[in-house]
Amino acid sequence: MAVAWGRDGPDLLVTLDRGAGGLGVQLQDQLRAAIRGRRLGAGERLPSTRRLAERLGVSRGTVVEAYEQLLAEGYLESAAGSGTRVAATPAPGSPRPARSEAGPLPRPVEVDFRYGLPDLASVPLTAWSRAVAEAARTVPTADLGDEDPAGSRHLREVVTAYHRRVRAGCAVAGDAVVVSGFRQGLTFTLAVLARRGVRHIGLEDPGPREHEALARRAGLVPVPVPVDDDGLDVDRLRASGARAVLLTPAHQCPTGVALGPSRRRDLVTWAEEVDGVVLEDDYDAEFRYDRQPVGSLQGLAPNRVVALGSVSKTLAPAIRLGWVLAPPHLVAAIAEEKRLSCRDAPRLDQEALALLVESGRFDRHLRRVREVYRARRDVLVAEVEHAFGVGRLTGLAAGCHAVLRLPEGASERAVAAAAAARGVLVDGLSSYRCGDAGTDEHPPALVLAFGNVREQQIRRGVRVLADVVRGGGHDRPAQTHRAVPDRSRTAPGLLCRADRI
């Protein structure tokens, strides 16, 4: 898309060699090469002849003559009041696009059940723009320069106060480092642990594969630790020899279970025994429907837990802001890792987020979007029960995704491929397995994210999945089995018991 430049038009890099003679020919050659090489795209405006002549130190007639030659060759076009622009037609000598021999184009995506996005239509852009404007109006001039590598003091005070209020944490501003999202905060923390002698880190299995990749990039050895009905198996973690562990205790990704009370205590005991560190991914903690809130591990053991959070799920991934709440013996090292790697997150955005939370608009947004997700979850439950039967969905008490247990003998890969051919994208539970750990030992299941999927799309997607399964996605008749831990409701009003921690 061409830029709509102002009245004077854009600048253009052209260099002329006065010792080589033929300045007009040089100008023509350079413009022609820029258009052929796509440095200048179709529709882009060129500088006026007067402006370009002044910049190059040549007569205006030289530029006029060059433009006229390229107009005649079809490289440029000119219209009254529009200036001179690169022609939209292919330049002479341009190769014709090759005819596709690959057959029909893939079917457009109609439903995307893959996990990762919140409801983008619910992002409070009006409230955010108001907060940004307020930040631009009120931020002190001194705060526009480089400041504390830990980030805006104002935002760190607001974030830690929010964490204490909503997540039962106990961090203060001095324990926080502002980062550009969860992944950056995790990268910095893993780098610090690796330099301090940690070699092995426990990862939930199943769990996010990105965690495994980030651990390896930091020089750590990932150790898969099984997840059951009560969350991460601490006894297996203890036997692994790891001195660090990364987990999603409030709403495990992807199974949806919460770390049980006894496991939480055992985890803290393990950390004390091995002089270890617990990395808490504060994942989906704000979106709960059928169970009591689960407090942050950071509040239980502040000297052993690093809590990592962001607004990627609560607001939008495009607002690249997150935080690390670390023990005193780690926070300075994490801030130094950030200082050497990337300086700071955008300071005005930090101030805007602080104002958004302080004003109460952030809490109002969460209350509103929580009801959006609850409604979508209920539609998902109803459609799955109609298509697959009762009890096939698990992990529904919180968060923006659920796990659909497939009939015994079904192939996750075959079901996902057949659904994709019909415009429905979905991931199998095996794609969350750590390495190749026990993939074949677990019954087939799909992870259905509904955060950014409208209700009509949910209905369409579930029906396609049911058609695919009935049409040959499995090899043996369906039998009831437990594919993943299930401590949540299978349908509104049919909760076996609420989780209370």
- Give the per-residue pLDDT at 490: 37
- Give the per-residue pLDDT at 481: 38
Cβ contacts of 330 within 8 Å, gap of 6 or more: 189, 192, 277, 306
| Mean of pLDDT values over 83-95 | 69
Q: Which domains does the chain have, with CATH numbers?
A: 1-97 (1.10.10.10), 123-360 (3.40.640.10)
The CA-based angle 69-5-10, given to 5 degrees, is 55
In one-letter notation, the amino acid at residue 95 is: P
Residue 41: both structure tokens together: 């795209």
- Give the per-residue pLDDT at 263: 96
Full-model pTM: 0.79
- Min mean pLDDT across 396-410, 448-462, 480-494 is at 480-494
- Give the per-residue pLDDT at 240: 95
For residue 332, pLDDT over 70 is answered with yes
- Give the per-residue pLDDT at 142: 81
Averaging pLDDT over each range in 5-9, 170-174, 390-394, which range is the top one? Answer: 170-174
In tens, the pLDDT along 476-499 reads 333 333 344 443 333 333 223 233
- Give the per-residue pLDDT at 442: 74
293 against 268, higher pLDDT: 268
For residue 105, pLDDT over 90 is answered with no
For residue 221, pLDDT over 50 is answered with yes
- Min mean pLDDT across 200-214, 278-292, 364-378 is at 278-292
- Give the per-residue pLDDT at 474: 46
- Give the per-residue pLDDT at 436: 57
The CA-based angle 424-430-436, given to 5 degrees, is 145
Report the mean per-residue pLDDT for the chain: 86
| Pairing of the two strands 445-449 and 427-428 | antiparallel
| Rounded-to-integer distance, Cα 240 and Cα 8, Å | 67
Residue carrying structure tokens 């990862």: 203
| Rounded-to-integer distance, Cα 214 and Cα 190, Å | 8
**111, 179, 194, 210, 222 from 217: Cα distances, Å:** 33, 19, 10, 11, 11
